[in-house]
Every structure is written in C-alpha cells, then in structure tokens.
Amino acid sequence: MKRYILLAILFVIASAASAQWTSNTSVNTKVCDTTGEQTLCKIALTSDGGCYIGWFDQRSGSYAVYLQRLNPQGYLQFPADGLLISNNPQSSSLVDWSLAVDDSDCCVLAFTDTRAGSSINPYAYRINPAGQFLWGANGIALTDSSAVYQANPKVIPTSDGNVVIAWQYNNNNAMQKLNKAGVKQWGSAPIKIYGNLSIGEKFNYPTGVASDNGSVILYWIGYTGSFISPSNFKTYTQKYSSAGTGLWGNPQDTLFNLGQAQGTYQPSIYSDGNNGAIYVWQSYVAGPTNCYVQRKNSAGQIQFPVNGATVGVVNSNLRFAPSAAYMPSTGETYVFWQEKNSLQSMIGVYGQKFSSNGTRLWPDAGQVIKPMDGNSFNGLATIIKDTSIYVYYNEIASVNGTIKACKMNRDGVLQWGGSIITPASATSAKGRLGAVMTSTGMSILAFTDSKVDANGIYAQNINPNGSFGPPTGIIPINTTTPGTFSLNQNYPNPFNPSTEISYSIKENSFVTLKVYNILGKEIAALVNQNQKQGAYTVSFKTSNLSSGIYFYKLTAGSFVDTKTMMLIK
C-alpha cells in the first residue's frame, strides 16, 4: 500500500491543479503542449466516463510514446505532460499504432520502434488506472523475427478479457493473443495470414473488432504490384476463434474485388453491437471514386449486396474516407464521407442511411450535412447513441482548422439548435481527431493542435445538450450483473463535501472498502462485510478532513484495487 501511495503521489501532485473541462472552445483542455511536436493522438473510453489519450512526442528530439488519463470531469490523472511509456529508438517517420481499454479499465498500447535493429517491430504495454506498468517497464515484443518490417498494430480487447493484436508482417499479416498477465496465447510466434503467393498477393492494414466467445473479426486489404499503385485491389475478412482458428471462409472471405484504391488507403471496421461487423472502404470501379459498405453477422453471412452497397449513385463527384456506425435498435447503418467535385476544389460532408438489407434510405446522391465549399476536412468520426447520430470532423481552411460536430436524428435533421457546432474554435492547424462517447451521451474529442508551436494534444467535451464545460448530471451506475471485479473512479472528483464510489463483484465475497490519507493512514471503513454478486454504490461524506489527495481501496476475495480522489474545500 505504501509503495503504491508513493507512486500515486507523484501523479496527483502534478495533476492536482489541472483544470476540468472548459467551456472556452478557443482554449480547450490541454493534455500536453510542451517542447517539440506531439502527434498521432489516440483516445479510448474508460468505464467511469473518463478516457485515456496517447500520443507520440518529440520533446526530447526523437519520438517517444506518452499516455494521459482524464477523469469524467476532465482532470488529468497522470503527470501534467503525460506518463512516459517508451523512449526506445524510433524511426524518423511514423506508422500507425493503437490503444484500447480492456475490461479492467487498463490501457493496452501497441506501437512500433527500432529497439531491436533497423526494422520497425511491434510492442505491447498494459497500463493500469494508477499508471503502473503491468507488462514490465519495456513491454512485450510481439514478433518472432526482429529483421522483418512490421507496421500498423491494432489492439482488439476480446469478450473473454484478453486482447488480440493484429499487424502487418512484411507483405503479410500477423496476430497474437495476450492474456492479462501478458502471456502469449497462440505460441511464441504470431499466427501469420498470407495472401495468394502464386500471384504475389500482399496484405496490409489489418484491423478488427471483438465478437462472441473471445473471437475477433479481422478486416484488411490485399493487392498485387506496388504499394503506391496497387493492382487487383480486394478487401478481406475472417472471424478467428479464441484459439486463433478461422471460422468463416477458407482461408478468408472476400468482401470486394471489383475495383482499385490508393495503396495508402486504410479501410475501417466497426462493431454492429450484435457480434457482427460493419465494413467501409473506397474504390473506383470504371468511374469516379465511390464509398462502399457491407455488414456481416456473427455467422459470417453478408447482409448487404455482394461487393457492398454504394453510398450513392455514380455521378461526377468523388467520394472519399467513409466513416460508419450501426444503430442496433433499428438495424440501420449510417455512413458519412467526403464529397468532392471532379476538381476536388469543393468539399462537403455527406451521409447515407441503409436499411437492414443495404437499401439506401436517404437520397441517392446522399444527405447533405455540410454543403460543398472551398474548405477541406479530415478526421471524420461517427458515433451512434440510442437513435441519435453524431458526426465529428476537422474542417480546414487553407492550412488552419477548427473542429466541428453535429447531432442529427434518424431523418438526418440537425439537432443542437439545428446547427453544426465548433468544439475547437482557435484557427490553427489541427489533425488526428478521435472521438468517444460516455454512457450519459457526453462526447470527448482528442486532437492535435498547433495553437502554441508545433502540434500539442488537446481535448474537449460536448455535453448531451451541445454545451461545453463541466458535465451535467451524475453518471449512472451499470446495474447489470457484473462479469468481473471492478472499482470505478469516484464521482464527482474532485469533490466537496461528498462523493459516490461504485464497484462490482462477480461472485459472493467478503468486501472491504477503505479510505486512506496521503500518508497511508486509514481514515474511514465504508464497507466491511460479506456481499453478494452485484454492483454497489457507496457515499463518502466528510466535514472534518482538509483539502488534498485521498485513496480508496477495494478488497473482494483475491481482488484488490486502489484509486485516488481529491477533496477541494
């Protein structure tokens, strides 16, 4: 306990003065904006309504990986400029990477570096909410050959509490499964996924989503020829069991084989909430570039037409960079994209709604969200909650950008006063927008912003009513039967004079929940009894304690977890 407190003190002292979510959209919440460039930010939601944000950081001259955790009120939980994850040697140019949150609210990161030689190789780290390195200070090497070029790792938390990581392995794909202890589940060498070697087929950009019984659904591209000008462009998918065995076609299913795409294009996949997947991609088939969408259920049956449904009829416009989301309550799929004229001088945000069988339900030319004008945009993200659709993007005028967001109903009618709002209004170069949404409908956006010098990392919340700043209402506790032990972040935090602490126990246990001061002295025992499986909420109220950092520790059987909270008077 004392060792934990000493570690935690370093975090909380650095972050104690950090401001919560701001209503000033020209300032936003600074995650990190120190010397050099901070770039390639990623965001993942935690169960308490907070998030992890990670990025590559050039403050020391070469790129290192940093991580920050924010609580639901926007307070930084790690040191003010982030927790250093890795400063191992890095290539001068960066490839893609990823992070995700597992069912213990730990952050799993996967990225590449050159610590083992000249070729980039993938590594994985697992960081708990207190900032402790659970897979060692230097993470876990995923590869079996450091001499092979390996890029673009993607982390996929599985329903059995593990993670699958997929990545490009030279001209093929590879994947490995790790349990919570970091032990490789599919042998010391990753499982390799090969293209048609007889024609020199190459695979790239594997990504995926979780499915049932610990399985994952992967999605990737295949091509022949060069990376810059690929031929025989195809998109593939396969569902892999918890043991790594293919469950659909042999060796995989082909989703699309009619056209071409740029070699740098990365397709996207999204969960449909029913253990199936939504796939989107762009390609040109005897005409302008168009966007396509397909849905597969958990059994591997396609729900839309073969080779996917087009988002709109072919016309003189070009369509790029689709983003999608699925509405489980209605069976509808929504896709949004960049609509450009033939000269690519006019650009807009368009959308399309599809029925459960892939029929277009909005106009064949697409629903206009933002009319085409001279401004470009990137970083398009889509989230669905209940029967509302949320779209976020970075709108670029010349080289400067502002972050935009909108909420619409199922008919495509804008909500939030019928307007597109601006969560980041400072006119400065922006990029790498990521978006998540809490169970209460609060959006959290993370993005790079050059408002100070080279890129820094900033975040902004959007409350359910479209306002910015401190969240409204109390985050509800999940009352479903828990499948794991968990201790949630208290709410509100910081607090005065009371706060709520929620936790879950997956089996009948003797439970203690105690509060300690910064010296490790017990000051309150909130729970000290046998409890049945379930989710619980306990109030902690104090009138005689001074402002400062406190710790609360849950013990339930062999499960132990400790979190920090802040009292401000």
Query: Is residue 18 pLDDT above 80, yes or no?
Result: no
**Does residue 140 contact residue 165 with C-beta atoms inside 8 Å?**
no
Q: What CA–CA distance (Å, rounded) separates 519 from 102?
A: 31
User: Is residue 170 very low, low, confident or very high in pLDDT (cuts 50, 70, 90)?
Assistant: very high
Question: How many beta carbons lie within 10 A of that of residue 152, not counting itself?
Answer: 23
Query: Is residue 483 pLDDT above 80, yes or no?
Result: no
Q: What CA–CA distance (Å, rounded) separates 206 from 151?
A: 10
Could you tell me the CA-to-CA distances from 36 to 92, 307, 452 in Å, in that order?
14, 45, 11
What is the pTM assigned to this prediction?
Answer: 0.83
**Does residue 65 contact residue 109 with C-beta atoms inside 8 Å?**
yes
- What pLDDT does residue 384 have? 98
Q: What CA–CA distance (Å, rounded) separates 549 from 566?
A: 5
- What pLDDT does residue 52 have? 98
- What pLDDT does residue 482 have? 61
- Length of the chain equals 569
Q: What CA–CA distance (Å, rounded) separates 135 from 98?
A: 17
- What pLDDT does residue 12 have? 43
- Percent of the chain topping pLDDT 70: 94
Which tokens belong to 120?
């980039």
- What pLDDT does residue 19 have? 54
E strand intervals along 398-543: 400-408, 421-428, 430-437, 443-449, 456-462, 486-487, 498-505, 509-516, 522-531, 534-541
Q: What CA–CA distance (Å, rounded) separates 69 from 158?
A: 22
33-54 core/surface letters (b: 16 or more CB in 10 A; e: else): bbebbbbbbbbbbbbbbbbbbb
The DSSP line for 384-406 is EETTEEEEEEEEEETTEEEEEEE
pLDDT tens column, 226-256 = 888 888 999 999 999 999 999 999 999 999 9
Query: Is residue 478 pLDDT above 80, yes or no?
Result: no
pLDDT tens column, 519-545 = 889 999 999 998 888 888 898 988 889
Query: Is residue 161 pLDDT above 60, yes or no?
Result: yes
Helix and strand totals (H; E) in the chain: 1, 39
Query: Is residue 14 pLDDT above 80, yes or no?
Result: no
Residue ranges and CATH numbers for the domains of the chain are 486-567 (2.60.40.1930)
Q: Which residue has the higher pLDDT, 117 or 12?
A: 117
Displacement of CA 565 from its chain's centroid (Å): 25
Mean pLDDT along residues 65-76: 94
The burial of 287, by beta-carbon neighbours within 10 Å (0-12 exposed, 13-18 middle, 19 or more buried), is given as exposed
Q: What CA–CA distance (Å, rounded) separates 249 from 85?
A: 39
Q: What CA–CA distance (Å, rounded) separates 288 from 293?
A: 17
- What pLDDT does residue 425 have? 97
Distance between terminal CA atoms of the chain? 26
pLDDT tens column, 502-518 = 898 988 999 999 999 98
